[in-house]
């Protein structure tokens, strides 16, 4: 209860301070890292609309863009960034850009090459954050996927020292894998990006990161509303039509998407919703004007007691068990 009160106050300050004409208030994270609370995701954007969507996001007020080599759209994202910055009169330093190292470049000899390609695709000379997308890599001998992250992380540390990336971090790691990185490296991850939403709150895992001083970013904040996730028997209802979320939205005069986003950052992590539609891009940004009370947040917290589901788990496809130790997250 007290934690929600503290975080709610912080979220209210963010909401009041932000708008399309003001820089977004950063989360309080390690001294070398300031990541805007509300970001714009580029995963599986409509291929014919990527550039327009990114430019629209910047015009709406987003200053945090989440990208990845694996999304296959970074060249189109670059056009949107260039157009948005020029038309708004912004500098590169006015926005935060994240990208990710893909599994096929985990060999230490390929890490610099991967970053160089990413910078070329995005038309940038540096990244604010570079994440290891998954703790797996493709074997150079067989091409098969295997757990492979420590050597790649050490190579990322070397790249970090060049200044081409301002921060490095991880994504989709388990507790043991994160500990392995910390215990065997000189650079602690600045950020850990993971799936978080009311159906997968991962509260203990988030709190552990706070103790470590590692910032957290939540992807898929709308849970199974993401069309990428194939529905399966026994799935909970779409998050944005969940009766509890609907009730809170109606009570506070917000949309269900806005409720999901406010619930997310009230817990102290950034969120990266995505949309190819200008109306939804604006709606999501409007979450900054949505104010939830402690009882609203408590009600959303209760949802996971009935429904607990991770939607993004490619363990079968990779042939590697992922998220060990997070089964009850």
DSSP 219: E
The answer to whether the CB of 221 falls within 8 A of the CB of 197 is yes
CA 65 to chain centre: 9
The answer to whether the CB of 264 falls within 8 A of the CB of 271 is yes
Q: Per the residue annotation, which of 62, 71, 149, 199 is the catalytic one?
A: 71
Show the tokens assigned to 159.
């790249």
Show the tokens assigned to 139.
């074997």
199 catalytic residue (yes or no): no
The answer to whether the CB of 87 falls within 8 A of the CB of 59 is yes
Of 227, 264, 283, 275, give the one whose Cα is nearest residue 40: 275
SS3 86: helix
Of 99, 315, 322, give the one whose Cα is nearest residue 191: 99
Residues 6+ apart with CB under 8 A from 133: 68, 69, 70, 100, 101, 102, 103, 171, 172
The answer to whether the CB of 326 falls within 8 A of the CB of 205 is yes
Q: Beta partners for 168?
A: 130
From CA 268, how far away is CA 9, in angstroms rounded? 11
Q: Beta partners for 200?
A: 197
For the annotated catalytic residues, the residue numbers are 71
């Amino acid at each position: 209860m007290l934690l929600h009160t503290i975080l709610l106050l912080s979220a209210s300050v963010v909401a009041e301070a932000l708008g399309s004409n003001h820089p977004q208030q950063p989360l309080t994270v390690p001294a070398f890292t300031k990541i805007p609370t509300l970001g714009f995701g580029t995963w599986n954007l409509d291929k014919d609309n990527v550039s327009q969507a990114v430019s629209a996001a910047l015009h709406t007020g987003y200053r945090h863009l989440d990208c990845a080599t694996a999304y296959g759209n970074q060249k189109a994202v670059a056009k949107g960034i260039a157009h948005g910055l020029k038309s708004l009169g912004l500098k590169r330093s006015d926005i935060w850009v994240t990208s990710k190292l893909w599994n096929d470049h985990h060999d230490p000899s390929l890490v610099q090459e991967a970053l160089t390609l990413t910078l070329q695709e995005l038309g940038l000379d540096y990244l604010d954050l570079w994440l290891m997308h998954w703790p797996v890599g493709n074997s150079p001998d067989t091409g098969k996927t295997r757990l492979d992250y420590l050597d790649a992380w050490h190579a990322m540390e070397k790249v970090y020292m060049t200044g081409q990336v301002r921060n490095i971090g991880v994504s989709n790691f388990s507790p043991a894998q994160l500990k392995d990185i910390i215990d065997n490296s000189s650079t602690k991850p600045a950020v850990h990006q993971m799936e978080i939403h009311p159906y997968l709150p991962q509260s203990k895992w988030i709190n552990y990161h706070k103790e470590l001083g590692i910032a957290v970013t939540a992807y898929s904040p709308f849970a199974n509303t993401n069309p990428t996730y194939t529905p399966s028997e026994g799935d909970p209802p779409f998050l944005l039509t969940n009766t509890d979320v609907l009730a809170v939205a109606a009570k506070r005069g917000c949309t269900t998407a806005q409720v999901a986003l406010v619930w997310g950052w009230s817990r102290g992590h950034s969120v990266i919703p995505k949309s190819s539609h200008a109306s939804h891009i604006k709606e999501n940004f409007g979450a900054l004007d949505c104010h939830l009370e402690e009882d609203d947040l408590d009600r959303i917290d209760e949802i996971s007691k009935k429904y607990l589901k991770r939607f993004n788990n490619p363990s079968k496809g990779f042939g590697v068990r992922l998220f060990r130790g997070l089964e009850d997250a």
